[in-house]
Amino acid sequence: MQLFFHYNRIMNTKDILIYPTYFPSISHYIAMIDAKTVTFEVEDTFQKQTNRNRMYIYSPNGIQLLNISVKHDSANTNFKDIKIDNQYNWQKNHFKSLEAAYKNSPFYEYFVDDLRPLFEKKHEFILDLNFEIFELVNEALGISIPFEKTTEYFHEVTDKTDYRYLVNGKKDVTQVEPYTQVFDDKHGFINNLSVLDLLFNEGRYAVDYLKQHSL
């Protein structure tokens, strides 16, 4: 995979707290690329119906949710202890959905061979998968985002800008500038999808696009 950009973080001033998610939304990357330091929240309890284990893409039929089934014994299970339920062939289904959605996008063929192994490898923990995805997407974008992980959970923080709410799509009201999408002639522009949508459609221009936004 060729790297396009070497991202300079010197001008950025925000220290942020954010969740590691499954192929993060565009708003997640806007927050991270605009940050001086990134700290990932890993010490909270797992909550259902969030982007911890789901992403949204643009399918031929419009917006599509891709969800990973997980195992958790109780409502108080720590996020970092959540295991993926691999009895369902989610990897095959997700990869087929990505292919159907983006095979005709400008940069799908460029990146797909680097993504494919991720959908062939069995991961035990959702958090490990999300961190591997984070590094993979950064490599595709040609950027490096150093990060730390929390060691204790705090409901409120005062020393960082708290972007943890972005993990909940219903609370994330970020509006991004339209860019060309594969099926926008059928369904129009769909806002703030997974960063994969931006990557497959904009390729080397994705970083410049992200840097033009702020939260």
Q: pLDDT (tens digit, 9 = 90+) per residue, 100-153?
A: 999 999 999 999 999 999 999 999 999 999 999 999 999 999 999 999 999 999
3-state DSSP of 122-157: CCCEHHHHHHHHHHHHHHHHCCCCCEEECCCCCCCC
How far is C-alpha 163 from the geometric centre of its chain's CA atoms?
14
How far is C-alpha 194 from the geometric centre of its chain's CA atoms?
6
Q: Which among 59, 60, 61, 47 is positioned nearest to 19, based on CA atoms? A: 47
- pLDDT number for residue 11: 56
CA–CA dist 68, 55 (Å, integer): 9
pLDDT at 1 over 70: no
- pLDDT number for residue 76: 78
| Rg of the chain taking only CA atoms, in angstroms | 17
Cβ partners under 8 Å of residue 156, min gap 6: 162
Any bridge partners for residue 161, and if so which? 16
Structure tokens given for 35? 């940050």
Confidence of residue 5 (pLDDT cuts 50, 70, 90): very low
Residue 95 burial class via C-beta count within 10 angstroms: exposed 0-12, middle 13-18, buried 19 and up? middle
Identify whether the C-beta of residue 120 lies closer than 8 Å to the C-beta of residue 92: no
- What DSSP character marks residue 107? T
- pLDDT number for residue 6: 39
pLDDT digits (tens, 9 = 90+) for 183-194: 999 999 999 999
The whole-number average pLDDT for the span 156-177 is 94
CA–CA dist 49, 30 (Å, integer): 22
Average pLDDT, the chain: 92
CA–CA dist 62, 190 (Å, integer): 8
| Phi, psi values for residue 129, rounded to 5° | -60, -45
- Domain map (residue ranges) of the chain: 14-210
